[in-house]
Amino acid sequence: MQIVEAIGRFRAGGYDERLGFTVYDTLRYKRLLEELAREEIAVLMERLVGRMPTERAVALIEAGIDPLHDLIAAMHRKLLLQALKRMREREG
């Protein structure tokens, strides 16, 4: 439901099909985030398997979901703003 709501907020902000924005634009994020998730799970499994009981590992991973979301959002925002700044500087 959060995905649909986010798309609705994009639409309300002017990102509509007349400008070429469609729900298919979300596939770019999905593809990149799938790769990130695979890499994260590989790292977590490497670090946690055999070092703690499965239930503890699952709890640790679950406890990290919200902070990870915040970290990714903050980094993404920072990178977007940096890219916009560079674009403005190039254009004068």
Q: Residue count of the chain, please give it.
A: 92
Is residue 87 domain-resident?
Answer: no
Question: How many domains are there within the chain?
Answer: 1
What's the pTM? 0.80
pLDDT, averaged per 10 consecutive residues of the chain (92 residues), comes to: 94 95 94 96 93 94 96 98 97 86
Query: How far apart are the C-alpha atoms of 47 and 53, rounded to whole Å?
Result: 12
Q: What is the pLDDT of residue 63?
A: 97
Give me the pLDDT at residue 26, please: 94
| Cα gap 88→80, rounded to integer Å | 12
Contact 10, 22 (CB under 8 A): no
**89 is a domain residue:** no
What is the per-residue pLDDT for 92? 79
Output the pLDDT for position 13.
96
Task: Note whether residue 32 is domain-resident.
Answer: yes
Residue ranges making up the domain that contains 15: 2-51
Backbone phi, psi, residue 39, to 5°: -65, -40
Helix pair 26-48, 54-91: axis angle to 10 deg: 140
